[in-house]
Each structure stands twice: as structure tokens, then as C-alpha cells.
Structure 1
Amino acid sequence: MTAVASFNPQAFRAALSTFTTGVTIITTRNAEGEPVGVTANSFNSVSLNPPLVLWSLAKSALSLPAFTENRHWNVHVLSAEQDVLSGRFASRGENKFAGVSLDQGINDTPLFTDCTARFQCRTAFTYEGGDHLIFVGEVLAFDKSELPPLAYQSGQYALATCKPRELLRLGAEPPPECSYTEDLLGYLAGRAHYQLLDALRRLLHSQKIDEHAFFVLSVLCIQDNLTLEEINDYVSYTGREVTQSLMLFLEKQGYVAPDKQFGVLRFLLTAAGRELSLEQIALAKAVEQQLIEKLGQADSQVLKMLLKRLIQATDPGLPDLWAPASQEFGARA
């Protein structure tokens, strides 16, 4: 067969990559009994009765003899947290199985833990597929979890989320002269923020601490020995300023302690303040857990990823609260 002159393999590959797939690792053992594994996104279902699945492997792959000689192999549909594992098994020249936790399957074929789904298979047929060999396997055993799956799209790892058949209508159609709609990103992010904050505020009310003090104590719980200016650097995104009077209030409550070092006033979190902060964070996590139960683990993880990207895209240059203090404020000390 003569190839079409205008056919561009790179463009063809890029076009194929627009089809979003899951990510799997296929494992077996070679003739010496050594574990072998490869990352593949060519996995697909074939039949329910009998239960058959397929995947393909490049004929140039070093692992090909292991899969052609051993009829038993396992398919692991990776969870969203296993992207590092996927990258490891997509590379060469590495002890891929080092430190990997394994379960006992129906035979000695390596069976990973913490996957979204697992299929223990036996080769039923193999077919030529151009520069790949197609393996069709009979599923001998399988299991699944509630862990969200890892996806792959346009050469990058991705997360999948569900799109409801009918999206929630938050309001009536705007008048023709108004371009402000419920699909405005600022409105959606703002309303979600304030509704979530209101749920936390109701819980904090019983402790006679508002969310502003909660932010301050949370910062000091992660990093204390900070000046008022440094605390404000961390919470400036809230649009509210931490004042000396607020710190004095927290001091009188026994939650913070002032410490003047080399003429610079810094604030330390007391034992009582740390205990209160941990209680407040537990309340915040309770609010979050209620939300996760409503959204589901998969959509919650997608939401967190998108929020991180939103924060990165809109970040005016705020310091990283979780970075070591010496990196952020070493020049000020």
C-alpha cells in the first residue's frame, strides 16, 4: 500500500490525542518470572458475554516478548492520584516495581493497589495492527473502587467530571439589555465562596470568633513568629486588613503572644491558640466533607484542580504560606 504523500504522522497523532482516554498499566511476568509493566491508553472493552477487553502494544516495545509468551496479564485503570506511577511505567531503564504495593490476585501476575478498577485477564487472541500487536483478553476477575480515574487528553494528564443532563438554573433569564448572567465566572466563583463561607461562619459563631480571626489563627498555625505586615501579606486576598486591635483582641483571649525581637514586633501562636485553630480547621474540614459527599470524590478533585489553576491565573504575587519561612521572609528578618 502506498502512503498518501500529504499524510503527516505527527498531525495524525495530535488529532488522535484529542480523544480523551483513561490511563492503564498492564502487568505480566516474563519467562524468568520477573515483573513487567507498561503504561497504555489503548485499553477498551470488546464484549460483555463473554467478558473480553483489548489493548495494543508497539512491536518495538522491549516488553513485547513477555506479553506474547505469558498469556496472563492484569489491567489497572489508574486513579487520579497515580499519575506519577503512570509516568514511571511509561519510561525505560528504571526499576519500575520498586516500592509499589501489590495485592494477591488469582495468580502471580503483579496486581497494584489503589486503582479505580482492575481486570485480571488471559489472552484469548492476538491480531496484527500495523506497527502494534493487539491483545484481546478474557476477563477472569475484576474489581472497582470509588476512586476517581486518571484521564489523558492531548498529551496531558487530566481529570474527568460529570456533566448533568440538566444544569441547575440559578436565576431567571436576564433582561436583553443586561449581559450579566449566571454563567459569569466571577459570579459563580463569588457565590460559591460566600455560600461555603457562610456555612463555616455559622460553626465559628459558637466560638465567638469570626472568619477574619480564623484566617489569622490559621496562618499562625502554619507559620508563626510573623510581623503584622507579614500576616497581612498572607491574608490580603480576603480584602480585609489585619489590624493591631484585632491582634490585641486575640492576645487578650490568650491565643497569640507578642514577641519583640531586635525592635520588631512579631506574633507567636500560644498553645491555646493552636488548639483553637486546630478545632476551627476541623470545622472547616467538616464543611468541606459535606460538600464532597454532595459532589462526589471525582468532581471534588476536579474542582480543586480548577480552583488551583484559577488562583494561579489571578495571583497578584502573594507569598506562599506553605513555603519555608526562610524562603518567603528571610530578607526581612
Structure 2
Amino acid sequence: MTQSNLDPRALRSALGTFTTGVTIITTRAQDGTPVGLTANSFNSVSLEPPLVLWSLAKSALSVPVFTAAEHWNVHVLSMDQQELSNRFAAKGEDKFQGLMLDEGKTSAPLIGQCSARFQCRTAFVHDGGDHLIFIGEVLDFDHSELPPLVFQSGQYALTARKPREAVTLSDIQAPLDCCYTEDLLGYLLGRAHFQMMQKMQQELAKFGLGTAHFFALSVLSIQGKLDLAGLNAHISYTGHVLEHEHMQQLEQAALVNIEDEHYQLTQEGHQACLGQIAQAKAIEDDLVDEIGRGDVTALKLLLKRLIRQTDPGLPDLWSGR
């Protein structure tokens, strides 16, 4: 084989731009010891016959076990299994400790809670440069609605489904003109927020409360006890300002009490917050049903990045809990 002049590190970076799923491959050694590793080289080969492949570095300690194994399982990890991926990618630990396994068609370990699983028989093992390529016949498989964990450019990622409607890059990056467009990020964030808050108003209306009252109760449910300045420090990003009048209205509704100019929730206030949280979760559950758990999770992560990027220096709402 001829020697390549390509820069290995640059090649690895270029290959890393190809987004892949994350899998765990498992088998058993001849003495019955379970063996497993994390791999993102999994791919389909054929539907008829049903064949899949994955590759293993020749330098891997598990090469003798997998080359001798008749059966192995491929687990396409769900987005909640990042810790499991890290565990099976590490060396020198009992990767199966405390792990509940399902019963499979063969003795190869079968891990639960995955996006998909393929139970395979070794069909061929081919030389692939510094790797061995394992091709397996699929004996059985199953899959779930759990969104998959993916890997891109050296880090974990989540998938988000593209809308069926055609959206081109020019649509998103169109030149600015003198009017708002429906692709303006601020408009999209604002409209989504207000449409969700509109549903929250149904719960607030039970107590004759407005948005400012909602912010006060929410902050107190997290922080426990604050004065008016402390409350306003936490909600300054909303554009609302809590006045003594707002807090008096909450006192009259028996939702808060005041001690040494510090406000805290009453038992009725805690119950009101539980109702608001239940309503917020119901709204979120409806979104999950409509657009999928994976897309909602990806949206949350993007919003957290946006919040960190635009944070004007607000106090940490969840500190000291």
C-alpha cells in the first residue's frame, strides 16, 4: 500500500464534519466475560440479505475477542445515553457494572433504552487499513421513538428534523430591507413566547393575576425569600417592574406574606405555583407530542446557549437552592 501525504489530523477533522450516530457494540469473550465499546463507524450494508457493518481499530485491546466472536449486538444510543457512551469509550473499568441487560437471541449483552438495536451474527471480517471491518447478518432488531444521540466535529449533538416545507439558505439569509420578516430571530422567539404565555393566562386568571404577579410567584418559589429589589433584579430582563402595589395584591390574595420587608410564599402561594408549573408542563407535553421530544430538547439546548450569550449579568436564579 502506498504511503499517503495527507495530514492525518486535517483528515480526521474533515471526516468529523460527517454527522454520525453513536453506538455501543457488545459481545462476550470465550470465558463469558461481557465486552463492549463505543463506536460511530456503524452503517447499513444491505437489506436483502440484512447486513450491517462497523469497524474496530487494530490497536484495540478487544480485537481478539471480537474476531473470535460469532455474535455481537449494535446499540444505537438515545440522546439520554451520553453517560453510557462515555463509559464504554473509557478504558480500565467494569463497563457493565450495575447495568440491567435484556434477554436477546444470543449470549451477546443486550442494553435497554436505546433508539434501535441490532442483534447480529458475524458474516465477514475484512482488513481496512488500520481498522478491521466487521460485517454482520442481522438476526433480530427493534427500535423505539427515543431520539438518537449523534456525534459531529468531535462532540455530541442532537438531531432536529427539518420542516417538510422547502427552506433554502437564501430564505434565511435574505438581505435586510426596511421591514420585519418572519425569519427574524427576535420575532420568532417573541411570538413563540407570547403564544405559550397566552395559555398560561388561563391558570393565572383563576387567581386574578397578571404577568408581573406570575414572575413574582415564580421567583419566590425558587428563591424562597426576597425583598422587592431582589425580586426585580431577577426579572429585569422581562421589561416588567414589580411595585409594592403588585405585592400588596398578592398579600390580599393570601399568596405571599411579608416579614422584615422580605416576601415569601404562603401555603396557598405554593399551591398556586404548583398549578402554574402543571400548566407549563402540560403545554410542553403538547409540544413534545406535536414536534417530537428530540426537537424540543434540541430547542432547549439552543435557547440555553442563546441565554448565556445575551445574559446582561442577571443574578443566578437557581443559586443557593
TM-score of the superposed pair, with normalisation by structure 2: 0.93
Q: Cα–Cα, structure 1 residues 226 and 118, in superposed 2: closer, same or farther, change >3 Å?
A: same
Is the contact between residue 203 and residue 275 of structure 2 (CA under 8 Å) also seen in structure 1?
no
Q: 1:256 to 1:85 in 2, by over 3 A?
A: same
Report the identity percentage.
57
User: What is the letter of the counterpart of residue 66 of structure 1?
Assistant: V
Q: Is the CA contact 2:212–2:246 (under 8 Å) kept in the aligned structure 1?
A: no
Which residue is 2:170 aligned to?
A: none
| Residue correspondences, number | 316
Question: Per the alignment, in what secondary structure is the counterpart of residue 72 of structure 2?
Answer: strand
Q: 1:266 aligns with which of 262, 267, 274?
A: 262
Quick one: distance in 2 between partners of 1:254 and 1:21?
Answer: 55
1:119 aligns with 2:118: yes
In structure 1, how many angstroms separate the alpha carbons of the residues matched to 2:162 and 2:197?
Answer: 25
Match of 1:279 among 265, 275, 280: 275
SS in 2 for 1:207: coil
Q: How does 1:149-164 map to 2 (within 5 A)?
A: 149-164=148-163
Contact 1:18 1:153 in 2 (8 A): yes
Could you say which residue in structure 1 is the equivalent of 2:285? 289
User: What is the TM-score with the length of structure 1 in the denominator?
Assistant: 0.90
Which residue number in structure 2 is paired with residue 147 of structure 1?
A: 146
Measured after TM superposition, the shift of residue 45 of structure 1 is: 0.5
Letter in 2 for 1:144: H
Distance 1:54 1:177, change over 3 A: closer
Aligned residue identity for 1:204: L
Residue 171 of structure 2 is matched in structure 1 by none
Q: Output the CA distance in 2 between the equivalents of 1:226 and 1:305.
A: 29
SS of corresponding position for 2:206: helix
| Code of the aligned partner of 2:318 | W
2:309 counterpart of 1:313: yes
Change (3 A) 1:152 1:304: same
Superposed CA offset, 1:3-60 (max 9, x none): 243x101101111000000000111111221111110000001111111110000010
Segments of 5+ residues of structure 1 without an aligned counterpart are 169-173, 326-333
Aligned to 1:328: none
Distance, in Å, in 1 between the alignment partners of 2:139 and 2:49 is 10
Which stretch of the first structure deviates more once superposed, 93-102 or 123-132? 93-102
Cross-structure match for 2:47: 48
Q: How large is the RMSD of aligned CA atoms in angstroms?
A: 1.9
Within a 5 Å distance, the mapping from 1:62-101 to structure 2 comes to: 62-101=61-100
For 1:117 and 1:293, the matched residues in 2 are separated by 20
Structure 2, unmatched stretches of 5+, are 168-173
Partner of 1:238: 238
Q: Distance in 2 between matches of 1:44 and 1:218?
A: 47
**One-letter code aligned to 2:198:** D
Change over 3 Å in CA distance of 1:176–1:43 after alignment to 2: closer
Q: Is the Cα–Cα contact under 8 Å of residues 218 and 281 in structure 1 kept in the other structure?
A: no
Give the distance between the partners of 1:307 and 1:167, measured in 2 at CA. 24
C-alpha distance after superposition, 1:193-233 (max 9, x if no partner): 11111222234323322232122212222221222222222
